[in-house]
Amino acid sequence: MITVIRQGNSATIQDEGRRGYQAWGMPVSGAMDPYACHMANLLVGNKVSAAVIEMTEEGIILKFDKSQLVSVCGADMQGMVNENPVKNWSSFIVPDGGTLSFGRALSGQRAYVAVHGGFDVPKVLGSRSTYTVAGIGGYEGRILHQGDILYLAEDREKKVCTTNIPAAYIPQYNPECTLRIMMGPQDSLFSNEAIHQFLTATYVVESSNRVAYQLAGPKIMPITKTNIVSDAVSPGAVQIPSGGTPCIVAAADHGTTRGFAKIGYVIQADLMNLVQAKAGDKIHFMAVTRQDAVNYLKQRQQAYETVKKHMEGR
């Protein structure tokens, strides 16, 4: 078993999320950064769908009763096994009675801890992901607390040795990034001048959580009001409230409908850059085509497959 010694800041159990229930008001949830989550599971020989711990801004401290193969990917939270530093984007052994601890994120905002086999919590609607707004999934539907005890599941594919992700496939989290977006579906509510301003302006992350990112920046004034009849929202939706500012970008635990005009959607391949941004980081938007979005997503998926083959050949 694994005991939470210090709970950190909003650490939760997550996996790939629960799909197929948005029509009933249930968001997908799941890991905010699927790329880092998938790589963490790959490093310990898990199925890609295995449950992990998602840490935000500040990490947790875990005590292991037995030796386990563990990995960490995502934000650099200065991981340590007992008193020995561990490399980010790598797997390592935590010995019997060992402690795995993390500090505050030096770069990025979210990190993922995977253990061989994954974490065993009850599935709700086919997923182990925590959705704290409704209090379901994960560990009792909430963030992890000091004293919680975690057990291991059987979501493993094979035994692997300690290793690391090749440097070419490790993202760099910078305080300024460009997010590629597909325009629409309500971009027609904005003039060409307003859209040009939106695509050339600099936005600043004002606040964020698993529901949404709030961005501060210049007003993007609509031709008419931007309050619309509520319609479907998915992760990455860039919403412009009435009055033109600020932008709200939907994240994993977003409400499934809303009545704000959506000027565009951050493409799926770039969501990992958004969710690793901290308060004060700068954001730019760049319009791309649907085919571009598909190609970028294929590149991201190919990166995972390339790393997987690299590891299988070791």
Query: What tens digit of pLDDT does each residue of 77-105 get?
Result: 999 999 899 999 999 999 999 999 999 99
Q: What confidence score (pLDDT) does residue 314 get?
A: 60
Measured at the CA of 16, the angle between CA 211 and CA 310, to 5 degrees, comes to 125
User: Model confidence over 223-282: pLDDT tens digits?
Assistant: 877 678 888 999 999 999 877 777 899 999 999 998 889 999 999 999 999 999 999 999
Asked if residue 249 lies in contact with residue 236, where contact means CB atoms within 8 angstroms, the answer is yes
Rounded CA separation 30/125 (Å) = 12
Summarize the chain as % helix, strand, coil (round to 5): 20, 35, 45
Q: In what order do the strands lie in the sheet containing 68-76?
A: 12-14, 52-56, 107-115, 68-76, 90-94
Write out the E strands in 116-236.
149-150, 176-183, 203-208, 212-216, 227-232
* CA nearest neighbour of 208 among 255, 132, 261, 274: 274
Q: How far is the C-alpha of 206 from the C-alpha of 249, rounded, in Å? A: 12
Residues 147, 151, 153: CA angle, nearest 5 degrees: 155
Reported as a pLDDT band with limits 50, 70 and 90, residue 313 is low
In the chain, which ranges are E strands?
Answer: 2-6, 12-14, 52-56, 61-64, 68-76, 80-81, 84-85, 90-94, 99-101, 107-115, 149-150, 176-183, 203-208, 212-216, 227-232, 237-240, 247-250, 257-266, 282-287
> Is the separation of the CB atoms in 147 and 4 below 8 Å?
yes
pLDDT at 312: 74
User: In 219-277, which ranges are continuous DSSP H helix?
Assistant: 271-275
Among 90, 83, 266, residue whose Cα is nearest residue 165: 90
Q: Report the SS3 class of residue 169.
A: helix
Q: Which domains does the chain have, with CATH numbers?
A: 2-169 (no CATH), 176-300 (2.40.100.10)
**pLDDT-derived band at 38, boundaries 50, 70, 90:** very high
Measured at the CA of 46, the angle between CA 157 and CA 77, to 5 degrees, comes to: 160
Structure tokens of 79?
């991981």
DSSP 8-state class, residue 309: H
List pLDDT tens digits, range 203-231.
Answer: 999 999 999 999 999 988 888 776 788 88
Amino acid found at 265:
Y
Is residue 192 classed as helix, strand or coil in its secondary structure? helix
